[in-house]
Every structure is written in C-alpha cells, then in structure tokens.
Amino acid sequence: MSTNLTQYFKDKRDQHLAELTEWLSIPSISALSEHKSDTLKGAQWIADQLEKIGMENIKLHPTDGHPVVYADWLHAEGKPTVLIYGHYDVQPVDPLHLWETPPFEPAIRDNKIFARGATDDKGQTFMHVKALQALMDTDGELPVNVKFLIEGEEEIGSVNLPDFVEKNQELLSADVIVISDTGMQEKGKPAICYGLRGLAGIQIDVKGAKGDLHSGLYGGAVQNALHALVRLLDSFRDDNGVIQVDRFYDKVEGLTDEEKAAYENLQFSDDELKKELAVTELAGEKGYTTLERMWVRPTLEINGMWGGFQGEGIKTVLPNEAHAKITCRLVPDQDPDEIVELLTSHVHAHTPPGVTVNVTPFDKGAPYVTPYDHPAIQAAGRSYEKIYGVPTQYIRGGGSIPIVATFDQLLQKPIVLMGFGLPGENFHAPNEHFHLENFDQGLLVIADYYNELSKAFKK
Amino acid sequence: MSTNLTQYFKDKRDQHLAELTEWLSIPSISALSEHKSDTLKGAQWIADQLEKIGMENIKLHPTDGHPVVYADWLHAEGKPTVLIYGHYDVQPVDPLHLWETPPFEPAIRDNKIFARGATDDKGQTFMHVKALQALMDTDGELPVNVKFLIEGEEEIGSVNLPDFVEKNQELLSADVIVISDTGMQEKGKPAICYGLRGLAGIQIDVKGAKGDLHSGLYGGAVQNALHALVRLLDSFRDDNGVIQVDRFYDKVEGLTDEEKAAYENLQFSDDELKKELAVTELAGEKGYTTLERMWVRPTLEINGMWGGFQGEGIKTVLPNEAHAKITCRLVPDQDPDEIVELLTSHVHAHTPPGVTVNVTPFDKGAPYVTPYDHPAIQAAGRSYEKIYGVPTQYIRGGGSIPIVATFDQLLQKPIVLMGFGLPGENFHAPNEHFHLENFDQGLLVIADYYNELSKAFKK
C-alpha cells in the first residue's frame, strides 16, 4: 500500500498544493471583527472539501462566535472511531511590513509554503483530509470510522467550543482523538506531544489625569500613566525570571526523574536555539534548563504594551493612558481561572498611587498531560518511524491548545498529538511557513496511522 | 490712549478673530513630515500679515528645516528696539478622537477659542501683530523699533534656530526680547515668567530575537523585548520619584530662601490642581512642594512607549521589539548635552541580558533664569497691573522654550516672557484652547507695554 500511496501523493501533489493555496488565501483571522465574513469563508471552504472527499453529515454548527465545521464517515463496521480536530482560523498578521510575501498570497520558496496558517493549522488539518481521500480513492473505503471537528476560534482561546463539545458529546463520541497542531522536535525527527501548557491572561488599562498633559507644565506634579504601568509590569518578575505573583507556583507539578532523564536524552542544544533566534544569550527562570522552561515551567509574558506618543520625533506629552496585554502559559495543575484571579489581585496590590487600573481577563485554557504508553499513541509513534526511518520522540509542548484539556475532561479518550510543524516556522509571527517535506511525509504517516489504528486498536 | 484702543479693539474684534481662525486652520505640525507644506503655509500666512500692518524687510529665511519669518519696522529714532519672538508651528494632535471639535477647525465656545495652536503659540504671537497694528492705525507710527522673529520648529526643539541666531546677530540685535509663549498663574492673575526649565531626551529602541516569536513555543527561553524595556524604564526613578540616573542632580541649583518665600506667597492649591486634572492624588519627587516640582526641580517622563500586539483581543506573541521616548525637564545649571550622555550611560548600564538597545538623542534646550528687577521686565509688570487691576506675579515656568537660553547666551539682552495662557488650556493635548478675555486684555497690555517701553527704557 505504501508504494501505491507514495505514487498517489506524487501524482496529486500539484493539485493538493493548489487547493491548500486556495484555503490559505482566505484571511480567516478570528480575533478581528472586520474579518468575520472571511472567517466564515474559511469554514465554508473546508466544509466543501470534506464533501468532495465523501464525508457525510457536513454541517456548519453555529456558535456565539465563529461556526464549528462537523463531518463524518461511519461505515467501517467494528472498527474504531477517530475524532479529528483542527482549526480553520489563523492569527493576526501584523507587523505586516515584515512579511517577505503577503500573508494571504501563499508563495512556495525553497520547498516551503509561506502564508499565515501554513502550519498553524490549515496546512496540518488539510493533510488529514487528503490522507483520508487517498485511502478512499485507493481502497474505496476507510479503515476506520472518522469524525471531523474543525473550529474557528482556536486562536482566540476556543471561546465557544467547550460549550459545543459539552452539548454534543454523543455526536462527537469516539475511541481516539487525533490533533495535528503541534511540532516535531527538529528537522527529520518526528515527535508526539503528550503534554501542553495552558493559557490565562489579562489586559491592563491604566488611567491617570483627565487628559494628556504638557510635560513641562505638569511634569513632576502628577502620575504619568506610562510610569505607573512600567512600575506595575516590572513587579511581575524578579531579576531571576521568577514570577512574583503571590501563590502563582502553588499547584505547579515537579518533573519526575524519568522525565528529567528523557529530556536530557533529547540533547537539546541551547547554542542552536540561540543561532535560530539570533540572540546572544537565552533568558528565563533561573535553575531550569531551556527545555524545562519551555515545556514544564509556567511563564508570564507581556504580549503588547502601548501609550503616549508613538510618532516620528518628539512630543513632550505626559500621557494619561497606558495599556498592556499579558498572558501566562500554565502547567499541570495550575487552574486558569485561579491564575486570572491571582494576576488581578497582583495588579490591584501593585498599582502605583495617582492612577486607576482596569483589568479584563482573556479567554483561558487548562494545561494538559497524558500517559504516552497508550496503544493509540504508540501506534502513531510506529507510523512516524516507518516513514521517517528514525525513532519517534515523546515530548511536551510549550504552547496551548485550549480545547485539548476540554476534550480530556469531557470525552475522556486518548488524545494523539501528531505534529508536523518545525521550530522556526514562525507560527504567530511574520513569514509563517511549512516545510513541504513534512507535508509530503506527513500525508504518508497519517494514511499509515489510520491503517495501523484499524488493526492495533480494537473497539 | 487706552480708551481709544479699548474702542479700537472692540470694533476690530470680529475681524481679528476671523484672521486668527484662518491661521489656526493651517495644520503647521513641524514634527510630521507629511505636514511640511502646511508648515510652510503657516509661515507664509504670518509673513503676509506682517506686510499688511506695515512691517518691512519681510523674508522667509530658509534653514535646514522649516523657515524663519523675519520682519522689522525701524523708524522710531532714538527709541529702543524690541525683538519679538514667536512660533508658527504647532504640536501633533493625536489622539484625535478626544477632540470635541477638529483641531484645525477653530471653534468658539464659552468665550474660548478651541484649536491646536490657540495659545501655543499662534494666538499669542498674533496678539503682538494686532497690538502693533493698533498703535500704527491710531498714532500713525510705532513708539519703539520692532523686529519680528517667528520660527517654525519650536515644537521640535528649535533645531535650526540657534545656528540662524548665531549667524544673524546684527540683523537680530535689539535692546529687549519679548516672548509671549508662557502662561499666567491663574484666571485674572497676570504673571511674568523669569525662569524656564530646559529639555533633553532620548528614544530607546530595544531589539531581541530575529523576529516576533510564539509565546507558547519560546516563552520562558528567551528575553521578551517588552520585559527588557519595562525593566530598563523602571530603573529611571525610585519609589520616591527620585531620578536614579547617576550624577543627574549634580548641577541642580537649590532655591534661595527668598524664592521659597515668594512661592509660598503664591498660595498654590494642590486641591485645585487635583480637581483640574481629575486625579485623586498628586505624585512626584518626595520632599518638594508641587510648585517646586513643576518649576525648579528636574523631571524625567516617558512620553510614549510601544511594542507587540495592540489590536483587539489576544495575540500570544513574544515581541522582539520595544520602543520608548523619554524627555527630561532641566533646571539651572544642568547641561542638556551632559544629561543626554548620562541618560545614554544609564540605558547601557541597565540593559537586561538577551537584547540590544539603540539610543537616539532628541533636540535639546538649556534651562534659563534671569533677574526680574530689570526695567524692561518691571515695565511689563506695570502694564499688566494697569489692565488687569491686580499685582503682577513673578513666576518660573515648568516648560521649555529652548531658544530662550540661546537668546540669553548669544544676544545677552533682557528677555521678557509675557504670557497670556492659562493652566488647563491643554497646550500639547486634545482640546487646546485660549480664553478670549485674555486675548482682549492682552492686546491692551501689549500695546501699553510698547508705549511704556518707549518712555521707561532709554537706548
């Protein structure tokens, strides 16, 4: 079969890339209201694809935000059912001027496809569709039962999906959940992610005097909102990178010795990361390795900050407003709701005199970790090994897929995080791209995995 | 004469306000290159006015930036010569949405004229033109010789004026320099300013990794440019508002007991300032009164700060760039060049690891203070008292008119700062306005002053 499929994907490659280009051209930015209809177009496009490859019961389920795309094919009697999750929404694209080619005009250079959403997550979701189409085309049927759940709010914290999952547990019931929205360890080294950090964050809005003031006339007399914000933000971490929010670390699980050893075996190179990011030194919480800081330690980052005059030249204003957005990556067993409360208390306890502060929470996601010896996960590891010819690594991921924790809690089935992204592919940054060798090999891995699952995993 | 002039200004009031409205409608924002031709229009408008009232030798002298408008009338034989300084450029107008009426569509409400430049400085410069025209119209000649020097770069630190003054000392030679670009103490209380703070500032540009990063994938591993900037900015002042830049206060002169007593006599009210600015408390350097903090103590203020995601909602980015603009108000005998050096050293000494920082100095102005018992200054005090019917106050100002120190050094003549602005008129902020009762009374004060000067001040 593998030879057949290799030829099949080779024959269809141009067509596949043309189709993916179509999808990537739709600016389905869920965070920006002016892209609401584009986001809907992104949903409709993938729904049409699912229909083309023979899926059934295709529906755009409305939510309070962007719709959820559902489709299924349930004719593999006695075989396990796979719920495939992906998302059709993408991150905003600013700063736009740093893109070498426009984010929604996909361009192939050096065997990579450059576009917003190329890896995160249109590219990876698309691979599941094409792998299943290949099986359907070559075998006339699928080796497993399949349900697709493709949402449009992953990049804004999957606001409405938990409610949808809770209300549609029967529709979504499955034996295993497969998600391709993570990455490999490095080029040529496939990896399965068995843990993810969660997410919690707030926007901080500082207000001082009734309006902007002349810094000459009033400078020295009244609190500058920017200074107040700077003082407040600086109170969040100490010189060692340790987060100073009271009780922030209370529920953080330590690493087992086994995990520590496994991470050391990965031979992660600080030097290579420095080179990749073009920095002279790495930075972060003292006392932990870089991998530990990225995977198993919580973080607090300012994502944006602004106030006062940003134009060319000088304006001697004493600004009366200042704003910041901060988010934390969370690890088991931190609770996002509790963390938002702790952050809010910290802000109020550290607000300098002479200003008022308003705190608005962002949407949240719980951290997640799962045993990686489950047969569904081990089968995926074998498929990777077959195609890539090297052992599969079992890793944790620093990012958050908020819905993973929800699936874990509500559906209570094994979740297989099969990632095909690579570090440095600029998810969430300008010039996002996807290495096409992982597109090519990934299609084979996914097709093989569904065949393996059909045998290895009894209902 | 005063009765004649009172009637004259009453008769001409509508025409004067219509003319001022014309000038205020020109967006001569010197800081923004897209307003370069508007700034030139602002210069041409006042040059045309000067011609209309009978000034001679009118010329727009080119500089490396915006031109300097010069004009004179030198037929008062044996009488002193007055050099009148003003500026036709204005501050930027953002945030635009906070203006009740557009900044360049002057509107009169409640006997105030609202527009960018209404007080700072078109309104005040215009009053000198109209006061001289009145004298010319009623007496057929002027009581003193007059030279106008109206620049277009005051709001960007008078970049090219010092060079112009240095190269044109003969052209500009005078017995007294008069500037109306400051304010009164409060409504109905005229004031002459005998000291001004200077200005020095820098832009700080922080650069981290080669691009924006995904905060999940890299958060915890690498320096966030925003955190680095926050740490750096927070190092500039301590909890007591004391500036932490090494040697910053070395050359700051203390207040004399006489000055301290004079300030106490002004009966400045913290409560009224709080009310005016709508803040619950004032803030600033501990150990000094509010007036002292505004007039005789140096300051350091962040005027603008930005980096990362500023849009709607959440974007979990780890930004690689962060920017801030800071300026200091300086007092005698601080040297702006030295302060820029000290600020730059402070930045480099306090840059957190993992980022690089670039520092760009802004244009500078020296602080200024002059004895207020000079006859030219005392004559101005008498003219104020005649019109307003209350004693003139001798005050210092927190703002900077960079060129004042230059005039002081190069021309070595008494400088009379006759201000007609009021606190709360929003110079440099949205809804700048000018109280028209000070426009009306100020015209009489200025006309009377030139007559007084003709008698009191022998050549």
Scanning A303-332 for CB atoms below 8 A from B yields 303-319, 322-323, 325, 327, 329
Q: Is B354 on the interface with A (CB under 8 A)?
A: yes
Q: Which residue of A has its CA nearest to B290?
A: A221
Residues of A in contact with B399 (CB under 8 A): 214, 216-217
Residues of A in contact with B221 (CB under 8 A): 273, 282-284, 290, 293-294
Radius of gyration of chain A (CA): 23
Q: Which pLDDT does position B386 carry in this prediction?
A: 95
Give the lowest-confidence range in A349-363, B188-202, B219-233: B188-202
Question: In this predicted model, which residue has the larger pLDDT, B217 or A450?
Answer: A450
Integer angstrom CA distances of residue B157 from B65, B70, B182, B405: 12, 19, 16, 12
Q: Is A217 on the interface with B (CB under 8 A)?
A: yes
Give the lowest-confidence range in A160-174, A367-381, B74-88, B122-136: A367-381
**Domain covering B2-196+367-456, topology:** Aminopeptidase (3.40.630)
Residue type, B265: N
Q: Is B34 on the interface with A (CB under 8 A)?
A: no
What is the per-residue pLDDT across B285-297, written as a single tens digit (0 to 9) for each? Answer: 999 999 999 989 9
Residues of chain A with CATH 3.40.630.10: 2-196+367-456
Minimal Cβ distance to B426: which of A211, A273, A431: A211
Residues of chain A with CATH 3.30.70.360: 198-254+296-361
Q: Is B352 on the interface with A (CB under 8 A)?
A: yes
Low-confidence ranges of chain A (pLDDT < 70): 1-3, 457-459
CA separation for the pair B208, B186 (Å, rounded): 48
Q: Is A208 on the interface with B (CB under 8 A)?
A: yes
Question: Quick one: CATH architecture of B198-254+296-361?
Answer: 2-Layer Sandwich (3.30)
Q: Is A252 on the interface with B (CB under 8 A)?
A: no
Q: Which pLDDT does position B284 carry in this prediction?
A: 94
Q: Which pLDDT does position B2 carry in this prediction?
A: 54
CB contact under 8 A, A285 and B227: no
Min Cα distance B165 → chain A (Å) is: 23
The H or E element spanning position A5 is helix A2-24
Q: Which pLDDT does position A1 carry in this prediction?
A: 47
3-state helix/strand/coil string of chain B: CHHHHHHHHHHHHHHHHHHHHHHHCCCCECCCHHHHHHHHHHHHHHHHHHHHCCCEEEEEECCCCCCEEEEEECCCCCCCEEEEEEECCECCCCCHHHCCCCCCCCEEECCEEECCCCCCCHHHHHHHHHHHHHHHHHHCCCCCEEEEEEECCHHHCCCCHHHHHHHCHHHHCCCEEEECCCECCECCECEEEEEECEEEEEEEEEECCCCCEEHHHHCCCCCCHHHHHHHHHHCCECCCCCECCCCCCCCCCCCCHHHHHHHHHCCCCHHHHHHHHCCCCCCCCCCCCHHHHHHCCCEEEEEEEEEECCCCCCCCEECCEEEEEEEEEECCCCCHHHHHHHHHHHHHHCCCCCCEEEEEECCCECCEECCCCCHHHHHHHHHHHHHHCCCCEEEEECCCCHHHHHHHHHHCCCEEEECCECCCCCCCCCCCEEEHHHHHHHHHHHHHHHHHHHHHCCC
What is the per-residue pLDDT across B309-321, written as a single tens digit (0 to 9) for each? Answer: 999 888 889 999 9
* Chain B contact probe: residue of A206, A237, A279 with most B CBs at under 10 A: A279
- On average, the pLDDT of chain B sits at 93
Checking if the pLDDT of B171 tops 90, the result is yes
Checking if the pLDDT of B252 tops 80, the result is yes
CB contact under 8 A, A309 and B92: yes
CA-based nearest residue to B129, from B150, B115, B154: B150
CA separation for the pair A288, B220 (Å, rounded): 10
Min Cα distance A255 → chain B (Å) is: 16
Q: Which pLDDT does position A457 carry in this prediction?
A: 65
Checking if the pLDDT of B455 tops 70, the result is yes
Min Cα distance A300 → chain B (Å) is: 8
Concatenating the DSSP letter of every residue in A251-265 gives TPPPPPHHHHHHHHH
Torsion of CA A294, A296, A298, A303, to 10 degrees: 30
Checking if the pLDDT of B458 tops 80, the result is no
* Chain A contact probe: residue of B98, B277, B432 with most A CBs at under 10 A: B277
